[in-house]
Amino acid sequence: MTTTTIQRTSPSPPTAAGPPRQRRGTAAGIIGRTVRYALLLFFLLIVLMPAYVLVVTSFKSGSDIGVTGQWNLPERWSTESWTKAWTALGPSFVRTFQLAIPVAVISSLLGAANGFVLSRWRFPGADIVFTLILFGMFIPYQAVMIPLREVVSTLGVPSGIPTLIFVHCIYGIPICTLIFRNYYATTVPVEMVEAAWVDGAGLIRTFRSIILPVSIPGFVVAVIWQFTSAWNDYLFAIFLSNTRNGPITIALNALAGAQSPDYAASMAGALITSLPTLVVYVLLGRWFIGGLMAGSVKS
């Protein structure tokens, strides 16, 4: 797999790359196909099982939530638990949008600028710089987190969402740079940039007039990636915020981690928490897949 995977959002028709499908008529072919579909369906059910539990339990209420019959459909469909969960999570739900949207926009812009320079305006030593940037993507954040708390408070960033925006943007630079660098390396011909250069366009001019207009797919991937990781983050959240000013993962954990948790409300809460990223994923899933592959560095 090369850097091109980023654009290959929906793989080419199978038969184009693969061998001819197994001959339909033969017994072996029929058995093979049946086994394949049976396995695929089996795994489909396994993967969906937790989703079933979440949905079913979230619509139960009162005596319906016993240990026995946990797997049954609700005797009476009730939205009581959803109301309860929303009451607990509502404010942090809004806050998390205030976190994830700026993070997605700012990180992508930084990533686009870096990616362009590192792919098409390469200076001596660019490879080493790029490798040093990438390393930031893999570090366990615990290794920076302890002094980080002191640094952000010294810098005077207000705690809670502003702090989280700040740190997500910084630690998002490596992955966004990677996404855009791979994207530009495969879609923008060197000649195009050189031609602009010969015509006397400077870096900023080239970036604005030539690069940005073709960058939409890169932006979609980076925005989805950063939105999702800021939305789903728990580690930075627990270190740098609290239930009063933190994002939704903190609020959900407070709801679900209580001494005697209300299962139905926790599950409704887990669904509410997951809805935005699931919507993004369903609407833009093909891009998401592309982004995942870009995340694999290069192989």
- Residue ranges in 232-291 that form contacts with other proteins under rule CB under 8 A: 232-235, 238, 249, 252-253, 256-257, 263, 266-267, 269-271, 273-274, 277-278, 280-282, 285, 288-289
Q: Closest approach of Cβ 134 to other proteins, in Å?
A: 6
- Per CB under 8 A, which of residues 113..142 are in contact with other proteins? 113-114, 116-118, 121-124, 127-136, 138-142
CB of 229 to other proteins, least distance (A): 9
| CA–CA gap between residue 24 and residue 21 (Å, rounded) | 8
297 phi-psi bin (left φ>0, alpha ψ -120 to 50, beta other): left
Which residue among 105, 145, 157, 192 contacts other proteins (CB under 8 A)?
A: 145
Binding status of residue 29 toward other proteins by CB under 8 A = no
Can residue 9 be called a binding residue for other proteins (CB under 8 A)?
no
Q: What is the dihedral of CA 7, 9, 14, 15, to 10 degrees?
A: -40
Interaction with other proteins in 83-102: which residues (CB under 8 A)?
none
Our finding on whether 36 is near other proteins (CB under 8 A) is yes
Residue count of the chain: 299
Pattern 162-201, binding to other proteins, x per CB under 8 A?
A: -----x--xx-xx--x------------------------
Residue 208 is a binding residue for other proteins (CB under 8 A): no
- Residue 297 in contact with other proteins, rule: CB under 8 A: yes
Out of 26, 29, 37, 189, name the contact with other proteins by CB under 8 A. Answer: 37
Q: 78 or 232, CB closer to other proteins?
A: 232
Q: Which is nearer to other proteins, 97 or 281 (CB)?
A: 281
| Residue 17 beta carbon to other proteins: minimum distance, rounded to whole angstroms | 5
Of the pair 55, 80, the CB lying nearest other proteins is at 55
C-alpha–C-alpha distance, residues 256 and 287, integer Å: 32
Exposure string of 235-273, with b = 16+ CB inside 10 Å and e = fewer, is ebbebbbeeebbbbbbbbbbbbeeeeebbbbbbbbbbbb
**Total binding residues for other proteins by CB under 8 A?**
108
Give whichever of 244 and 298 is closer to other proteins, judged by the CB atom.
Answer: 298
